[in-house]
Structure 1
Amino acid sequence: MSKSPLTRVLAVFGSGTDGRLGLGFPITSQLYPRIVASLAGYSIKQVSCGGAHTAVVTDDGSLFTFGLNDWGQLGHSREDKFVAAPIEVTLPDPVKAVAAGGFHTLALTTAGELWAWGMAGEGQLGIGQPTEGRQLEPRLVKSLSGSGLVSLAAGDHHSAALTADGQVFTWGRGDHGALGHGAVHGYVPVELLPKRVRGLAGVRAQALCAAPYATGVVDSSGGAYAWGHGTGWQLGTGRNANELAPVKLESLPGGVTSLALGQLHSLAVVGDGRTVVFGSDECGSLGGGTETLRSRVARQPLPVEGLPLARQAAVGWKHSVLVGQDGRLFTWGWSGAMGQGTFTDYGGGQLGHGDDEDRWAPEQVLRLHTSRHRYYDLRAAFVQARPWRVLAAAAGRNHTAAVVELPLDVRDLAE
C-alpha cells in the first residue's frame, strides 16, 4: 500500500434494506464493514444510526443522510420513499451534532439552533402542534434557541437535548416513561415542546443517550441516570420495571464514561475502561457466552469478558458494539435482519464478521472493505504496519456504522 496521510472515513455494515448503508445500487447487505466511497473526500466527524436511516456529520459541518424516507426523516428528497446514497441536508449554518431517531432526525448547528424533521405527529420534533404528521423539510425548534445546546439524542418517538450548563430537555411521546417527567393522574402525556427534566435538579449532565423508549445521562462526576422502558432489566436500576423519572444507577461501578441504552439490553464503560452489560439476552447480546443461555438476564451490571479497555459503546436492537481505546472494534449478539423497513429485506451482517451468524461472546472485527472486491484485513502484514483504527461507532436496528481512521489508498476505492 502506498504511503497515504491518515483520513477519517465512514464504514457501514449490516442490512442494506431501504438504502440505509448509503452504498448506492445495487442495494445489498454488507457482511463486513465497507467504506462509503462517495463520502471519502470528507473527513467524518460523527455518525448516527436511526431505525432504517443514517446521518453523518463531516468536519466542515456538512450533514448527509440516506436510507428510509417514508416519514421524511432524511430532510431531503421529498418524493422518494428511500434514498440509497448520501445527499446533503440544507441548513442555514454548519452542523456540529446529529441524532437519528426511529423515524425522525435532529441536527444542532454552530449557531446553537436545533432543527428537526421526519415523523411529527407525536411531538418528537418539538415544534408544537404540527400541521401534518410528517415534516419533509427541517423545522426550527424555536423554544430551545439560545439555550446553549451541546448534544442530542433520539429514540423511536421521543427526543432529548443537553445544554452546556448540564440541563436536559425531553419531548415527544412518553411511553414507558421515556421523557422522565413522571405521570399526571396516572397518565404519561405527550410533550409537544421541549420540557426540562426536573428530576435531574442539582445534577450537571455532560453526556446523553437514548434507547427506543428510554433515556440516560452521565453527569460530570461519572454518575449515570436512566429512565423509561425497563421491564427487561435494561435500565440498570436493579428493577424489572419502567421508570417514569430519573433513577441514579447505584449498581454501576464509578466513573461511567460511556452509556448506551438499548431496547432490551444496555452497555456501560466505566472509568478504568471496563465494559459492563445489563438487561435481557437476545441472541447473545449480553456477551456472556453460551452460559448466558442458563440465565438469559443480567439483573445487575456484569463485566463483559474478552474486551480491551474501552472508549465507547453502542447498542442496536439485539446487537452490541464496543470501540476499544486502541482502535479495535468488537461486536456480538444478533446478526440477522427483520423489521423496520419498507421494501425487500436483504439480510443481516451487522456484526461485521462475514456472515449472519449470531455471536454469544465478543469478537473482533478484522476486515474493512474499501470496495466490493478490495479490503484491508488486520491479519495481513502490510495492514498491521499501518492499521485502521475505529474512533466511534453507532448501531441501528439492523445496521452498524463506524468512523474509521486509516491511511487510505484512494485507488482501493475503485471497484
Structure 2
Amino acid sequence: MAPRRAATKAAAPAADTKPAVKKNASKAAAPKKVAAPKAAASKRAAPAPAPPADESESDASEVEEEEADVADGTDEVDEAPAPAPTKAKRAAPKKAAPAKKPTKAAAAAAAAAATNGDKKTTAAKAKPQRRGAQGGNKAREKAKQEAAPKKAAAPKKVAAPKKEKPVTLLKRNAVLNHAPTAKLDVFVFGEGSSGELGLGSKKVDGKKPIDVKRPRINHHLGADKVGVVALACGGMHAVALTHDNRILTWGQNDDHALGRDTNWDGGVRDIDDEESDDDDDDDSGMNPHESTPGEVNMSVLHPDAKITAVAACDSASFVLTDDGYVYAWGTFRGTDGVIGFTDNIRIQPTPALIPEVRNITRLAAGANHVLAMDKDGKVFTWGAGGQFQLGRRTIARRGHHAEAGLKPEPCGRFTKKHYAVDVSAGSYHSFYIDNNGQVWGWGLNNFSQTGLSDRAGVSEAMIERPTMVASLEDKKVKQVSAGVHHSIACTKDGKVLTWGRIDGHQTGLKKDFFTEDNAIFDDDDPTNGKPRILKEPTVLPDLEATFVAAGTDNNFSITSDGKVYSWGFSTNYQTGQGQIDDVEEPTPIDNTALRGRKVVWAGAGGQYSVVVAPHDDKAVNGN
C-alpha cells in the first residue's frame, strides 16, 4: 500500500558630501570653514543570511523557523521603516584670529555697497560677523545651503521581490522505464469523507460522493477525456498518471500531499446539526478542490521526461521518470508529528527532485517511508525509521523522539551476485525480493507481519535489518504486498499466502484453521482465547491470483481472468462488498459496475479502495 528562503542586499554606501561653494571674500580674513557633516545613510541594513544547516543533524527549532515560509509557498521579507538619519557631530570651530579694524575709507565703501547693492542680498551677507561667535558659523552655513543646489532626497528603496530560482534541467539519462499505455476505468468505494474517492463534493445522479458501498466508476476520471494509466493510494489521498504525462491528485491536503493549492473559502458543514437531512443535501460540505482530481504543476521535470510510475505515503507523493529520477512533495510524519521532507525542509508544497537517488526502476511507499530500487538492484530507503522500517540504523534528530533517516541510503549490502528485483512496503515494515527468488523482510514485527516469527506477540518486536524469510524460501514468490500488521503474497504458480494479524479477518482463514502450532492466541490459550497472530505465511485454499494488494486491514486478489476477491476489515465499506461487518473469507466483488469487466489492479488506503479495468474491455464485454 501505500506516506516552506530571502535575498539580502548590502547596505548602500553613504551619500558623498557636496563640496563647499566658494564665496567672494572681503578684504578681512574670513574664519576657517567648518567641515560639512556627512549625510547619514537612510537605507536599512539587510538581514544577515541564515547559518548553513548541519549536514548530519538538523535542529528542529531552526528548521521550523527557516522553512515556515516554504510551507506557505512564499519568501517575504518584512519592510521595516528606515531609521531616522543620525546627526553628525560638528567639529568645534578653531578660534578665529581677531579681525583688523577697517579703515575709514573701507567703512565708507562698505556702507555705499550696502545702500546701492541688491536689496535681495540676505542679511547674513551684509551684516558684519560677530567676533569669534558661533553665530558667524551658522550664518556661513546657511548661506552655503542657499547658494548650493538642493539635492533631491533619494527615494526609499523597497526590497525587491525574491526571484524564483531558475530550474536546473538535469542531464537526461538512458531510458530505463516505460509508462503503461492502456487507458483505465477507475472504480472507487469506501468512506471518502476526506475526498479520497475523487468524486467531488456534490451528488451526481442522486448518489453521494461519500460512503460508497460498492465499486462506482469515477466520472471525473473518464478514460476518453482523462485517460488514467497508473494509480497509487496513500493513507487519505491518491495520485494518478495520465496517458499524456500529467499527474492528478485528490484527497486530504493538510501536509501538501496533493502538491497543489487547494485553498477554499467555502463553508464548513456541521455534522452534528440534527435538522440537516443528509439524504436530501446535494453538497457534502467537502472542499471541492481536494475532493476533485486536480493537476499538479510538473514543470520541474526536464521537457523530455516521461513519468512512468507513481507512489504515495500517508502525507507524501512520489513520481518516477523514464530515465530514473524521483520527484516528490509533502512530508513524513512520526509519532510526534511532522518529521520533515528533508533535513532542511519541513514540508515541501510542490514537486522537488530527490537528488540522492538516480537510475531508479522501482518505487514502494509505506505509511511514512519509501523504498527505491535502482537498475543494479540496490535498495535505498528514507523517511521515518522508528520501527526499523528503513532496514538501517538512523540518527535521531534533535528535538524529535522519532528516529528519521530523511536522506536516502542503501538498506543493505548488494552485489552482482545478490541484488533486488522488486520492493514493497507496509505501513511500518518492508520487503524486497532478490534475484534468487528469496523474500527479505524487516521493520515492525509485533504481529509477525514480516513473515519472521521472532518475538511475535511482543509489542516492541522489530527486525532491524533485512532478513531472509525462511518460510517463503521455496515458494517462488513473485509479488508481496503489506498492510499495517499483516502481509500477503502470490507465487508464480498462482498461490496466495497470508500472515500476521488475524482479529480483523486479515488472513482470510476460518477460525477453526488456527492451532497452537501456527498461531498465537489471546492469553496464550488456544482453547478459550481468540486467535491473534498467524506466525508464518500460509496458503489460502481454493484461491488463485496473478496480483494481490493489501489495504490497512483488508486484502484483494485478482485472478487471471480479471475477477477480484476481497476480505477483511470492512467498517468503512473498503472491501466493496456493501457491508460494514468484516468479510471473513475471500469473496468475489460482484456488482453492476464490475460485472463482465476484467480487473487488472487494486489498491487501498486507510478507509477506501480502488480497482481498475482497461477501458477497451468495455466494448469487448458489451458494457
- In the superposition, the TM-score normalised over structure 1's length comes to 0.84
Between structure 1 and structure 2, the one with the greater Rg is 2
Report the counterpart of residue 468 of structure 2 in structure 1: 248
Cα distance 1:83–1:188, how it changes in 2: closer, same or farther (>3 A)?
closer
Aligned mates of 1:170, 1:229 — CA distance in 2: 15
Report the counterpart of residue 579 of structure 2 in structure 1: 355
- Determine whether 1:23 maps to 2:199: yes
Of 402, 412, 429, which residue of structure 2 is paired with 1:214?
A: 429
- Determine whether 1:304 maps to 2:527: no
Of 143, 156, 174, which residue of structure 1 is paired with 2:385?
A: 174
Report the counterpart of residue 9 of structure 1 in structure 2: 185
Cα distance 1:140–1:392, how it changes in 2: closer, same or farther (>3 A)?
same
C-alpha RMSD of the superposition = 2.6
Aligned mates of 1:72, 1:184 — CA distance in 2: 26
Q: Shift of residue 159 of structure 1?
A: 1.4
Q: Shift of residue 78 of structure 1?
A: 4.8
- Determine whether 1:117 maps to 2:352: no
Contact 1:289 1:360 in 2 (8 A): yes
Aligned mates of 2:354, 2:442 — CA distance in 1: 24
Report the counterpart of residue 370 of structure 1 in structure 2: none
Report the counterpart of residue 134 of structure 1 in structure 2: 347
Aligned mates of 2:594, 2:563 — CA distance in 1: 12
Contact 2:339 2:404 in 1 (8 A): no
Q: Shift of residue 296 of structure 1?
A: 2.8
Residue 263 of structure 2 aligns with an amino acid whose one-letter code is E
Report the counterpart of residue 390 of structure 1 in structure 2: 599
Residue 355 of structure 2 aligns with an amino acid whose one-letter code is K
The equivalences for 1:14-413 within 5 A come to 14-26=190-202, 27-40=209-222, 41=224, 42-79=226-263, 83-91=290-298, 92=301, 93-120=305-332, 128-131=342-345, 133-144=346-357, 147-182=358-393, 189-201=403-415, 202-239=417-454, 240=456, 241-252=461-472, 253-291=474-512, 294-307=530-543, 309-336=544-571, 348-367=572-591, 375-376=592-593, 378=595, 387-406=596-615, 407-408=617-618
Q: Aligned with 1:306: secondary structure?
A: strand
Aligned mates of 1:350, 1:244 — CA distance in 2: 32
Q: Shift of residue 58 of structure 1?
A: 2.5
Aligned mates of 1:171, 1:44 — CA distance in 2: 28
Aligned mates of 1:125, 1:199 — CA distance in 2: 27
Cα distance 1:242–1:233, how it changes in 2: closer, same or farther (>3 A)?
same
Q: Shift of residue 184 of structure 1?
A: 7.0
Identical aligned pairs, as a percentage? 28
Aligned mates of 1:397, 1:34 — CA distance in 2: 18
String of CA shifts for 1:14-57, please: whole Å, max 9, x gaps: 11121100011233121111111221124432211111001112
Contact 1:104 1:119 in 2 (8 A): yes
String of CA shifts for 1:197-222, please: whole Å, max 9, x gaps: 12455532111111111111112332
Q: Shift of residue 7 of structure 1?
A: 5.3
Contact 1:181 1:199 in 2 (8 A): no
* Further displaced range: 245-254 or 64-73: 245-254
Q: Aligned with 2:187: secondary structure?
A: strand
Cα distance 1:303–1:265, how it changes in 2: closer, same or farther (>3 A)?
same
Q: Shift of residue 319 of structure 1?
A: 0.7
Cα distance 1:190–1:107, how it changes in 2: closer, same or farther (>3 A)?
same
Q: Shift of residue 366 of structure 1?
A: 0.9
Contact 2:232 2:240 in 1 (8 A): yes
Residue 493 of structure 2 aligns with an amino acid whose one-letter code is D
Contact 1:390 1:403 in 2 (8 A): yes
Contact 1:262 1:317 in 2 (8 A): yes
Aligned mates of 2:584, 2:317 — CA distance in 1: 32
Q: Aligned with 1:198: secondary structure?
A: coil
The unaligned stretches of length 5 or more in structure 2 are: 1-181, 203-208, 265-286, 515-528
String of CA shifts for 1:154-193, please: whole Å, max 9, x gaps: 22221111112111000112111110014679x9842121
Q: Size of the alignment, in residue pairs? A: 375
Cα distance 1:297–1:200, how it changes in 2: closer, same or farther (>3 A)?
farther
Contact 1:212 1:262 in 2 (8 A): yes
Cα distance 1:184–1:365, how it changes in 2: closer, same or farther (>3 A)?
same
Residue 142 of structure 1 aligns with an amino acid whose one-letter code is P
Report the counterpart of residue 384 of structure 1 in structure 2: none
Q: Shift of residue 271 of structure 1?
A: 2.0
Q: Shift of residue 72 of structure 1?
A: 0.2
Aligned mates of 2:339, 2:419 — CA distance in 1: 24
Aligned mates of 1:209, 1:332 — CA distance in 2: 20
Structure with bigger RCO (C-alpha 8 Å, 6+ apart): 1
Residue 546 of structure 2 aligns with an amino acid whose one-letter code is R
Residue 299 of structure 1 aligns with an amino acid whose one-letter code is K
Aligned mates of 2:598, 2:566 — CA distance in 1: 15
Contact 1:284 1:334 in 2 (8 A): yes
Aligned mates of 2:378, 2:464 — CA distance in 1: 18
The unaligned stretches of length 5 or more in structure 1 are: 1-5, 337-347, 368-374, 379-386
Residue 325 of structure 2 aligns with an amino acid whose one-letter code is E
